Amino acid sequence: MKPLHILGLAALLWIGTSCDKLQLPEGQGLTEEEIVAGLKEALRVGTDTTVRYLNRIDGYYGDTLIRILFPEEAWKVKVAIEALPGGAQLIQDLVIKMNRAAEEAAAEAKPIFWDAITALTITEGMRILKGDSVAATRYLEGKTRDSLYVRYKPKIQAAMESVGAQQAWEYIVDTYNSLPTTLTPLENRDLAAYVTDRALFGLFLKVGQHETKIRRDVRYRVTDLLQKVFAHATS
């Protein structure tokens, strides 16, 4: 059985073909409505697959491309804490817990994605159809990122508290601020905002990766409709 993301995003291979190339032999043509309906169906399955990929243990932490690392803006904190006995383990534990919080929150994306996909118009669909390799991903990000942030952040904050990430962060900050070598104490304790931003970055990166992969490999033309469209579009 082929992976679900293959089926889910296979229709995105349509993107970049012009409408006139989608004219099939008489009686087999595809209307704009049919194309957009297929695109909606593919996006629903594809985003659902992405959410399932992330909403599991090591969905984020196990993927080096989207793993959430210690905040770069607090790098001086990391360096100072790692120099202390047991400090490196404190940092590592925090990184794992941040990723666990993002993995727990990933399920929040599904209904927001579905709302955006359902609202996709023929005009938007045809624009995506003729766009570049991540046109559909950009559409989803433009339509959903603000809503996802609002919905993700409290979920991530709660998850961080439940897995101990927030407590670990506050302990690290307090330890850093109490060091005699610390000239400027760190005041920002809103780690949830950072984790939310990185979680959304990873979410859209994975959607975009699926989209690009599906475009480039003919083996992923796994339905009769997609085979019909691709056979003509690439001829």
Non-local (6+) Cβ contacts of 217 within 8 A are none
- The answer to whether 207 touches 8, Cβ cutoff 8 Å, is no
What number of other Cβ atoms are within 10 A of residue 228's Cβ?
15
Quick one: pLDDT at residue 88? 92
Rounded-to-integer distance, Cα 221 and Cα 166, Å = 45
Rounded-to-integer distance, Cα 193 and Cα 107, Å = 18
Non-local (6+) Cβ contacts of 16 within 8 A are 130, 131, 132, 133, 215
- The answer to whether 59 touches 65, Cβ cutoff 8 Å, is no
Rounded-to-integer distance, Cα 65 and Cα 60, Å = 9
Quick one: pLDDT at residue 215? 64
Output the CA–CA distances (angstroms, integers) from residue 79 to 3, 31, 42, 104, 163, in the order listed.
Answer: 41, 59, 45, 28, 24
- The answer to whether 210 touches 50, Cβ cutoff 8 Å, is yes
Instruction: Give 10-residue mean pLDDT values along the chain (235 residues).
Output: 47 43 49 74 79 95 96 88 91 93 90 88 81 83 92 90 88 89 80 93 90 67 54 45
Quick one: pLDDT at residue 61? 97
Quick one: pLDDT at residue 14? 42
- What DSSP string runs through 128-183? HHTS-TTHHHHHHHHHHHHHHHHHHHHHHHHHHHHHTHHHHHHHHHHHHHHSTT-S
Element (H, E) at 131: none
List the Cα angle 178/183/186 in 5-degree steps.
Answer: 65
pLDDT tens-place string over residues 132-191:
878 888 988 999 999 999 988 999 999 888 888 888 988 898 898 899 888 888 877 788
Non-local (6+) Cβ contacts of 184 within 8 A are none
Quick one: pLDDT at residue 214? 65
Rounded-to-integer distance, Cα 83 and Cα 221, Å = 53
What number of other Cβ atoms are within 10 A of residue 53's Cβ?
19
Quick one: pLDDT at residue 122? 85
Quick one: pLDDT at residue 199? 94
Tell me the CA end-to-end span of the chain in Å, nearest whole number. Answer: 27
